[in-house]
Amino acid sequence: MPTPSMEDYLERIYSLIEDKGYARVSDIAEALEVHPSSVTKMVQKLDKNQYLVYEKYRGLVLTPKGKKIGKRLVYRHELLEEFMKIIGVNDENIYVDVEGIEHHLSWDAIDRIGDLVQYFEEIPNRLEELREVQKKNEQLEEQS
């Protein structure tokens, strides 16, 4: 299993390849806000662990194993962002909150969150009821 740091790289590499068709060290460094030398070290580690194939000065390609994990990591991130929106987290907090929790949840928990997101999306009244509960609780907090 990849480490949380490896997951961050795989997620970002997968997204870059999906969006641009390729992922260069400089693109990854910019996206993750790290030095290119750090990216090179991690890419070499990912290559060694068979998540991607890296050739110096030529670029990198995800292996089937790397693609599968990258796709699942992007799904996890997007699902958690959707969950945060559903439960009413302010937009400016969502990315940081997701980054803070995504590596600490089991895939079982991710699947259950997926069920909950589906539960709210299938019947919009449920979301309206949640908003009413939240509004009521906010009013109670203000009175305290």
Q: Judge whether 103 is annotated as a binding position.
A: yes
HEC string for 35-104: CHHHHHHHHHHHHHCCCEEEECCCEEEECHHHHHHHHHHHHHHHHHHHHHHHCCCCHHHHHHHHHHHHHH
Q: Judge whether 11 is annotated as a binding position.
A: yes
Q: Judge whether 99 is annotated as a binding position.
A: yes
Q: Judge whether 115 is annotated as a binding position.
A: no
Q: What is the rounded (10 degree) CA torsion for 108, 111, 117, 121?
A: -150
Q: Judge whether 35 is annotated as a binding position.
A: no
Q: Judge whether 104 is annotated as a binding position.
A: no
CA–CA distance, 131 with 136 (Å, rounded to integer): 9
Residues annotated within the binding site are 8, 11, 77, 99, 102-103
- Binding-site residues for Mn(2+), in ranges, read 8, 11, 77, 99, 102-103
